Structures are given as structure tokens and as C-alpha cells.
């Protein structure tokens, strides 16, 4: 994905992760795409565009424009998700076109999502795709606002030993572990770990409570940060995200139980 504005290196890293997630998702879903040739066009949606389809760019580029302004460009490996606002009003429609032409693979959205919901691994990948997509859009939006407006961080790297979440702090973000492993501590006692692909920090954000635990990078970590308000809207409209969140919360509870059992066992030996 390319943006019609100057962005930092983290946008490039997120774009690479986004394509890898899309490729993995398509592999798990196992649904063949229908090839669609896109003719060059200077305005309007490309011929054959259907808001009930997902598209993956296989050749060329697709420009996304809103109110006459180029917002971003999809490249090979990127997915084009339908604009939920539709095209009822011209001035509120997102238009997709290719300046030089290209080829897409199309997937019926309802059948695609049916397969996603029937496969836990696909639901997990779908959640990560949406969160990463949200991070990309957040950067494009932040880069387009005036310089005096405060920008919201959305992607950060942490060295081993650095604190990602601190116990007792206010919960403003939900996190997705893009890469690396972190440990969870309560009152400086290790009670669990967070691995690549896991969503964490959601409980405090959703309940408006302070952080109940510290999360510290055990290895070099890269995380996507999603504002809690944006994450709330995400789980309202995408049940797969709720499933992934529940799985990660359940894993955290299992890890905590194992730690408690271990502590009791050690106490018994002493």
C-alpha cells in the first residue's frame, strides 16, 4: 500500500506485515479467486467493481480516491475491502480505479466470511488483518492533518526489557503483538507471556479500568497500538475480532492458572 503523503518507516513495515497476513489468510480460507482484468481509467470505479466482493491485487495498482483526492494506492498483494458506506451519495463514495490497468482476484464477501467464521485460524488471521489495516489507515489520516494537530502513535518497537504496558497506568490503547515475545507481571511477579499475533491490553480498555498488569518485552517486540475507541467500533462490526480476543484472554487465564499452580507447588516443597 502506498499513501499520497510522506510517511515514516513503520508504515512500510506494517504494509509488509499486512500483505503477509493477507497471503496467510487466503491460504487458510482456501477459496479460489476469480480473475478480473481492470482497464485503465481516469475516473469512477473500475468496470465490474462490486461492493459485495473482496479483491486482491495481482498485477498493477489500484488508486482509492475520496472527494476527488487520492488517498492511497493498492499494490500487488494488497486487499481491497468494500466501502461500507456504499455509493448512495457521490460526494461520500470512495472510488477505485487503475491509471495503467491491472488484474485482481475477486472473492464473494459473504462466502469468504462464512469460511472465515468456520475456521478458528482464519478468524484469528482476519482479526490481525483488520487491526493492521486500522493501523495503516490511522497513519494515513495522521499524516494528512495539519502539523499543529497532535498525532496518535500506532506502531512501536521495544527492546528486550522495555515496558510496553505499566501496571496502574490508564488504558488508552489495545495492542496486537506484531512480532516478538513479552512477559506479563503482576506486582513484579511473572504470571504469563504474550506471543506473536496475540491481542492484549483489551480488558482494561473495554472496562475503563487502569492496567492490572505490566507487560515487558522479553525479546525485541513490535506492536500495533489501536485507540480503545477505535477498537470498540472494530469489535462491534467484526465478530471474528471478538472470537480472537476471547481466545487470547482464555490463553492468558490458562497461563495465570499454571503460574499459580507452580507457585503453590513451590510453596508446598518449602
CB 261 within 8 A of CB 205: no
Q: What is the pLDDT of residues 181-196, one digit of tens each?
A: 999 998 888 888 888 8
Largest Cα–Cα distance of the chain, in whole Å? 77
> pLDDT band for position 270 (50/70/90)?
very low
How many Å apart are CA 103 and CA 105, to the nearest integer? 7
Q: What is the pTM of this model?
A: 0.59
CB 185 within 8 A of CB 167: yes
Q: What is the pLDDT of residue 151?
A: 42
DSSP codes, 80-97: E---TTTTSSGGG-EEEE
Q: What is the pLDDT of residues 98-128, one digit of tens each?
A: 989 999 999 999 999 999 999 989 988 998 8
Lowest mean pLDDT among 24-28, 45-49, 233-237: 233-237
Residue ranges and CATH numbers for the domains of the chain are: 2-119 (2.60.120.10), 155-269 (2.60.120.10)
Answer positive or negative: Cα dihedral of 100, 31, 177, 160. Answer: negative
Amino acid at each position: 500500500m502506498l499513501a499520497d503523503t510522506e510517511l515514516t518507516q513503520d508504515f512500510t513495515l506494517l504494509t509488509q506485515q499486512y500483505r503477509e497476513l493477507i497471503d496467510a489468510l487466503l491460504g487458510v480460507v482456501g477459496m479460489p479467486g476469480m480473475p478480473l482484468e481492470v482497464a485503465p481509467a481516469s475516473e469512477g470505479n473500475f468496470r465490474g467493481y462490486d461492493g459485495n466482493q473482496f479483491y486482491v491485487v495481482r498485477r498493477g495498482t489500484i488508486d482509492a480516491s475520496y472527494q476527488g483526492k487520492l488517498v492511497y494506492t493498492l499494490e500487488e498483494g494488497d486487499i481491497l475491502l468494500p466501502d461500507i458506506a456504499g455509493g448512495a451519495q457521490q460526494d461520500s463514495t470512495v472510488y477505485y480505479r487503475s491509471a495503467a490497468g491491472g488484474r485482481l482476484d475477486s472473492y464473494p464477501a459473504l462466502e469468504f466470511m462464512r469460511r472465515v467464521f468456520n475456521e478458528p485460524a482464519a478468524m484469528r488471521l482476519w482479526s490481525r488483518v483488520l487491526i493492521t489495516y486500522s493501523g495503516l489507515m490511522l497513519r494515513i489520516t495522521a499524516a494528512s492533518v495539519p502539523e499543529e494537530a497532535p498525532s496518535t502513535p500506532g506502531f512501536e518497537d521495544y527492546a528486550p526489557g522495555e515496558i510496553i504496558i505499566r501496571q496502574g497506568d490508564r488504558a488508552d490503547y489495545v495492542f496486537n503483538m506484531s512480532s516478538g515475545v513479552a512477559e506479563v507481571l503482576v506486582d513484579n511477579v511473572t504470571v504469563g507471556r504474550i506471543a506473536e499475533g496475540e491481542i492484549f491490553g483489551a480488558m482494561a480498555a473495554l472496562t475503563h479500568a487502569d492496567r492490572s498488569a505490566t507487560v515487558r518485552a522479553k525479546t525485541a517486540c513490535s506492536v500495533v497500538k489501536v485507540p480503545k475507541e477505535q477498537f470498540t467500533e472494530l469489535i462491534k462490526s467484526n465478530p471474528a475480532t471478538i472470537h480472537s480476543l476471547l481466545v487470547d484472554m482464555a490463553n492468558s487465564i490458562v497461563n495465570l492458572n499454571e503460574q499459580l499452580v507452580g507457585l503453590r507447588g513451590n510453596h508446598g516443597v518449602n
